[in-house]
Structure 1
Amino acid sequence: MTDIIFRTGEATVLAVEGQATDAMPEVLIGSVDGPVGHAFASMLGQTVGHTRMFVVRDLNQLVRPAAIMTSKVTIPSAEYVDLLGGVVQGATGDAIVDCVIEGVIPKDVVDKICIIITIWLDLRCAEDPNLDKADLYRTNYEATKLAIRRAMTGEPTIDELIANRKTVKHYALDGVVDY
């Protein structure tokens, strides 16, 4: 048994200029025999438009801890699936393994925990003939590592959130709400 029962994290890493490759993963990490493990197992079925897949680094390279990913948006095309199950899945898998290598996820718990990760992949990526796949990899790799680190360390803390309540606002509320 592990004391990692239910941990959450998210991160945003922005694309280079002219690309729609922003990454915004949200992760849920927890014990395989707890609520996260139960949710993980229940996700093994498919739902229309929101393909779920194990995170693999490549063929026959399922990551540890076991992770399952799904898209935050309805999947519109085979091109989108190719990006999600290709570049994005590879970046996500590499980030998870590197979190173990770097000690963010303790190696001794990799078979006792699992990860659920929701992925943001902008619909424009599948339609862009000039898509920068290297930037798509970079943003998803960096954001996944950051989201996992935040989940494992409880960031931001409630004290940080309270301290910046009046100075940090959601970008979409600029000019909408006066703090």
Structure 2
Amino acid sequence: MFQIGEALMGQGSELAHVDLMIGDKGGPVGQAFANGLTQLSAGHTPLLSVIRPNLPPKPSTLIIPKVTVKNMDQAARIFGPAQSAVAKAVADSVEEGVIPKDQVEDLVIVASVFIHPEAQDYNKIYRYNYGATKLAIKRALEGFPDIDTVLEESNKSTHAIMGFKVTRLWDPPYLQIAFDNPNLE
């Protein structure tokens, strides 16, 4: 199994954006999990999700911060409300049958978690990351979105952070770089 899920939830600086992979320990997600634990990157130190200290969820879940953590205040937002929220979302997904209970020892999750450097409200950080993780897991295991949804929505939707709708790129005005005319002027 190799499934991908994504979810964006909340607003303001506490907005949560979770991208995750869920798959077999012996497959590419398991390899990514092992690499994440052993190949550290300054400011993006991976951490295991824990419901509380010394209680990780099943399947084991590795959190990788998307934003460079530059100080202990920022680290506390990851090693605290986000870490616990992701773990609780995983545990609740098992309890609700989204993740099959009989597969928890065979699967691992790698979750890339966005925490804005200016986020302050731990309650919102927790709630938004819990909701985003739970939704990303559900979407991953249900194969969301299907290709018909992607094709239907690709020219209708506006990204929540971008804030504007892009017109169809084949309708002028648009930026086109042609191989026969590389001059942009």
Using structure 2 for the length normalisation, give the TM-score: 0.85
- Counterpart residue number, 1:96: 90
Instruction: Give the superposed CA RMSD.
Output: 1.3
CA deviation profile, 1:126-148 (whole Å, cap 9, x unmatched) = xxxxx322111110110100000
One-letter amino acid matched to 1:96: V
Give me the whole-angstrom Cα distance separating, in 1, the residues matched to 2:58 and 2:132: 18
Runs of 4+ in 1 over 6 A off after TM superposition: none
One-letter amino acid matched to 2:148: D
CA deviation profile, 1:129-176 (whole Å, cap 9, x unmatched) = xx322111110110100000000001111111112222124352726x
Give me the whole-angstrom Cα distance separating, in 2, the residues matched to 1:153 and 1:44: 27
SS at match of 2:5: strand
- Counterpart residue number, 2:142: 153
SS at match of 1:124: coil
Give me the whole-angstrom Cα distance separating, in 2, the residues matched to 1:132 and 1:9: 25
- Counterpart residue number, 1:174: 164
CA deviation profile, 1:103-137 (whole Å, cap 9, x unmatched) = 11000000001000000000012xxxxx3221111
SS at match of 2:13: coil
Pick the structure with greater CA Rg.
Answer: 2
Are 1:20 and 2:13 counterparts?
Answer: yes
Are 1:6 and 2:40 counterparts?
Answer: no
Give me the whole-angstrom Cα distance separating, in 1, the residues matched to 2:152 and 2:76: 42
| Mapping 1:86-125, distance limit 5 Å | 86-125=80-119
- Between 1 and 2, higher relative CO (CA 8 Å, sep ≥ 6) is seen in 1
Are 1:44 and 2:37 counterparts?
Answer: yes
| Mapping 1:18-97, distance limit 5 Å | 19-45=12-38, 46-97=40-91
Using structure 1 for the length normalisation, give the TM-score: 0.88
Change (3 A) 1:100 1:12: same
Give me the whole-angstrom Cα distance separating, in 2, the residues matched to 1:173 and 1:61: 39
One-letter amino acid matched to 2:23: G
Unaligned runs of 5+ in 2: 169-185
Give me the whole-angstrom Cα distance separating, in 2, the residues matched to 1:85 and 1:79: 10
Give me the whole-angstrom Cα distance separating, in 1, the residues matched to 2:75 and 2:89: 20
SS at match of 2:131: helix
Unaligned runs of 5+ in 1: 126-130
Are 1:132 and 2:121 counterparts?
Answer: yes
Give me the whole-angstrom Cα distance separating, in 2, the residues matched to 1:146 and 1:30: 16
